[in-house]
Chain A
Amino acid sequence: MIAEIGLACLWMAGALALLQLVTGALALTSKGVGLAGIVRPVAVAQGLLCGLAFVCLIALFLRTDLSVKLIATNSHSLKPFIYKLAGTWGNHEGSMLLWVTVMALAGAFIALVERRLRNDTMLATLAGQAFVSIGFYAFLLLSSNPFERLAVPPPEGNGLNPLLQDIGLAFHPPTLYLGYVGLSIAFSFAIGALVTSDVGPAFARAMRPWVLGAWLFLTIGITAGSYWAYYELGWGGWWFWDPVENASLMPWLAATALIHSSSVLATRNALRAWTVMLAVVAFSMSMIGTFLVRSGILTSVHAFAVDPERGSFILALLAIYIGGALVLFAIRARTITEGARFALTSRESALVVNNVMLSAILGIVLLGTLYPLLTEAFGEKVSVGPPYFDPVGAIFFIPMLLVMAVGPLLHWRNDRLGRITGKIAIPALLIGAVLLGLALFAPSLFTPSFKLLPFIGMGLAVGLAVASVMPLIGRNLRRTPLPTWGMVVAHLGIAVSLFGVATDSAFATEKLVASRIGESHTVGPWSITLKNVEPVAGPNWTSLEATMAASYDGGTATTIHPQARNYTSPPTVTSESALLTRWNGQLYAVLGEEADDGRWQLRLWWKPFVPMIWYGGLLIGLGGLLSLIGRVARDMKRSRAEEKIADRRERQGR
């Protein structure tokens, strides 16, 4: 019964989305003005119905209703509660339903609260939003119905891929989805503004919280995904330039650019066409990401099902949305009037550099990700990895970081570099000092080959950390607006992450040994003794667990337990690495197989400052959160004040 209710809700929500598109579009014409009043309520109803459908699916998963095909193939009655819940979106159909639900709820929310935009722009925005969701409703209802029943329910479900049975990963996909969907709202705003040629500060202010929110979730999702890959795969790496990772990085890059350009548009009414274009690009990247991950064109743990039909469906949606938006842009770009002017030395110029560099990096990642697919079409199989992405990306990343250090210190519109020389000099000198120090005291950087990028990275990270807090100097910290704090914290986060990345690639040490029980090994400053290896059992797995004593620099030993786990349904082996975190780095231990002579394979790493990569990611997210709170609070204050003014005018009978 629950499944049928869910399906009915989904159909009705789809129908309402169609109604929302038609009425929204008609209301823009002179004859259909009377319809304008129903667009907002329809959007709200659509959101509620879609939300209800998703709640139905969650209920089915929690009850493990095996008569529903999706649950029989993806769940198992013995799974812990949290993974039953997470199983709702840990599969293709459920994750697409989550996508549509978040989009519909976001649409309902803007229909309820957004009052700043001109009425016609708002109608066009809601129509655009319905246009995007219709495609996804069609996709769900026609080719990926999550509520499909089985004629004969199986006695037990198939289970969830054990690699995905991890608390961090349970919430990684929905986080990224919130990011993707937030960008779809920004896209709708851009469409609305293009249709009515109403591209100005009000558009940027209405769109900005959604971009900030999307960006915040993408940041957290990418950080969590990277940490998961780091400790769950047991390879000691934290970013592999895997196409699926790139699929989440590309929307992030576009959203980062969009945040900065919409702040120019909101504050200075410049970069109008560019901002609209970026909003289209950012959503395109979300769609491309979804296509790459969901179509099965790539193989990874993210590709739930290899199904060409679904791939073609998403590709068709991608073509319609992006093609349509670009055509609209081409027609309307001329009507977007020239924005405000600014000088070469100004905050705006710095942000233009930021935008152009981010776009270039985005292009490089996109080309590197699509290139293997292109060559395969011509019968040549290739893979593209760090030797491409690292140096080519750095060519644009390094100048961007330099401008990032200077830009926040500049005034809007027109400034002189001479005014801020004093403030730039400190970080610049620091960069020089760090590089000199490394050249003199870190010979390992230069043998066997010169590690150029980590070398530059460490210098830049220290300089950038100092430069990022410079905008606070000479300010009353209590009266500094939250968005400024957000910027400072996010920029500091970039510096912290960069420091972690650079020190890890420069100074990580690795040891691979076959060890007897009782034998000791050194890796970096650590001494590690293998005490024993014993079998242990968990709720749905059995495992070999090593006990090791690890002591840092001759200090007291800490016990760690890396495992090699065997899951039963479906049968899979995963390695659970053991991590020991200190303030200055992390020890990383993996247990391998037993050799014929009773020795155990061990892989040990000492990774200096590696956790800073993720601390930095969290700081970046925190910065986004501070900005978001600051912006929303300011918007609410302003709209309350405007209401009061309108109220007073009414009472005075004006």
Chain B
Amino acid sequence: MNTSKLLKAKHQRLILLVIALVVLTGAGLLAAWALRSQASYFYVPSDIQADPPEIGVAVRLGGIVEKGSLQTAPDGVTIDFVVEDGKARTPVRFSGITPALFVEGSGVVAEGRLADGGVFIADNLLAKHDEKYVPREMADMTKARDAMAQTQ
């Protein structure tokens, strides 16, 4: 057996350690860079009014579905509604089957992107599953709604 090909005893551990460290550091740096560019940020309508996200970049929008704003398009599966947070309003369009607890006056988190003309195109809607299982951002939303009810 040709033993010269075996890594030198003294160096083997060092070489393995260096390889592992280089790859893992690389993975970490890559992850950090990708997270900064790929994470989707959470907005409420007043954020969008103040400093809108770039058109087409994936973000999430949370707020209350405005009463009386829900309209179904003629195709029967596309809906338009307005999300508000008491200070600003954002129109939203969604094609699909809405979650069961999606109703006017209740909280919603929409995943999607802002399109030209200020309409938010939602790919997915998250509404409350039930009393116990509420999307995290929505815990704050109930507070917002209470505050709104009191000011009106």
Contact = CB atoms under 8 A, between A and B. Distances in A.
Given A299-B133, A338-B12, A343-B5, A382 B41 contact: yes
A573 B27 contact: no
A301 B39 contact: no
Contacts of B100: 564, 572-574
Interface string A418-459: 000000000000000000000000000000000000000000
B7 A343 contact: yes
Given A360-B27, A363-B27, A392-B30, A384 B20 contact: no
Contact of B131 (A303, A345, A570): A570
A512 B35 contact: no
A467 B1 CA distance: 27
Contacts of B60: 381, 383
A299 B135 contact: yes
Contact of B1 (A414, A513, A590): A414
B125 to A, nearest CB: 11
B39 A274 contact: no
A573 B1 CA distance: 69
Interface in B89-112: 95-98, 100-101, 111
A338 B5 CA distance: 18
B130 to A, nearest CB: 5
Q: Which 4 interchain pairs have the tightest Cβ spacing?
A: A514-B76, A573-B100, A592-B97, A381-B42
A414 B75 contact: no
Given A161-B130, A343-B7, A387-B38, A364 B31 contact: yes
Interface in A564-584: 564, 570-575
A359 interface: yes
* Chain B interface residue number, banded: 35 or more
Given A367-B31, A372-B39, A383-B42, A603 B97 contact: yes
Residue from A234, A359, A381 whose CB has the most chain B CB atoms within 10 Å? A381
A217 B68 CA distance: 50
Contact of A396 (B16, B27, B98): B27
B136 A299 contact: yes
B23 A360 contact: yes
A524 interface: no
Nearest to A237: B124
Given A299-B136, A381-B137, A513-B76, A343 B31 contact: no
B87 interface: no
A298 interface: yes
A641 to B, nearest CB: 30
Contacts of A391: 34
Given A303-B133, A341-B9, A512 B77 contact: yes
Interface in A239-275: 271, 273-274
Interface stretch (A309-317, A545-553, A594-602): A594-602
Contacts, number: 150
Interface of B: 1-3, 5-9, 12-13, 16, 19-20, 23-24, 26-28, 30-32, 34-35, 38-42, 58, 60, 72, 75-77, 95-98, 100-101, 111, 124, 129-137
A208 B136 CA distance: 40
Given A342-B6, A363-B31, A301 B40 contact: no
B136 A298 contact: yes
A356 B39 contact: no
Contacts of B13: 273, 338-339
Given A161-B133, A414-B6, 11 more contacts: A301-B129, A338-B12, A339-B13, A341-B9, A360-B27, A367-B31, A372-B39, A383-B111, A384-B35, A512-B97, A572-B130
Contacts of A593: 97-98
Contact of A381 (B41, B75, B77, B111): B41
Interface in A332-391: 338-339, 341-345, 352, 356-357, 359-361, 363-364, 367-368, 371-372, 375, 380-385, 387-388, 391
Nearest to A596: B72
B1 A341 contact: no
B6 to A, nearest CB: 4
Nearest to A300: B133
Contacts of B95: 512
Nearest to A162: B130
Interface string A109-121: 0000000000000
Nearest to A234: B97
A599 B76 contact: yes
A33 interface: no
A601 B9 contact: no
A575 B129 CA distance: 12
Given A364-B31, A512-B95, A342 B42 contact: no
Nearest to A371: B35
Nearest to B20: A356
A395 interface: yes
19 contacts: A161-B130, A299-B133, A299-B134, A343-B6, A360-B24, A363-B24, A381-B60, A384-B35, A384-B38, A388-B34, A391-B34, A414-B2, A512-B97, A513-B77, A575-B97, A593-B98, A595-B72, A601-B97, A603-B96
Given A396-B27, A414-B6, A592-B97, A601 B76 contact: yes
Contacts of B31: 363-364, 367-368, 392
A573 B100 CA distance: 6
Contacts of A368: 31, 35
A257 B143 CA distance: 46
Nearest to A511: B77
A344 B34 CA distance: 32
Residue from B1, B5, B12 whose CB has the most chain A CB atoms within 10 Å? B5
B60 to A, nearest CB: 6
A571 B130 contact: yes
A163 interface: yes
Given A338-B13, A341-B12, A572-B129, A395 B30 contact: yes
B39 A590 contact: no
B5 A344 contact: yes
Contacts of A338: 9, 12-13
B89 to A, nearest CB: 20
A596 B26 CA distance: 55
B117 to A, nearest CB: 22
A359 B35 contact: no
Nearest to A512: B77
Contacts of A345: 5
Nearest to B23: A356
Contacts of B7: 341-344
A341 B6 contact: yes
A382 B23 contact: no
Contacts of A382: 39-42
B126 to A, nearest CB: 10
A593 to B, nearest CB: 7
Interface string A582-623: 000000001011011101010100000000000000000000
Given A382-B40, A385-B40, A414-B5, A367 B28 contact: yes
A460 B12 CA distance: 32
Contacts of A363: 24, 27-28, 31
Contacts of B75: 513-514
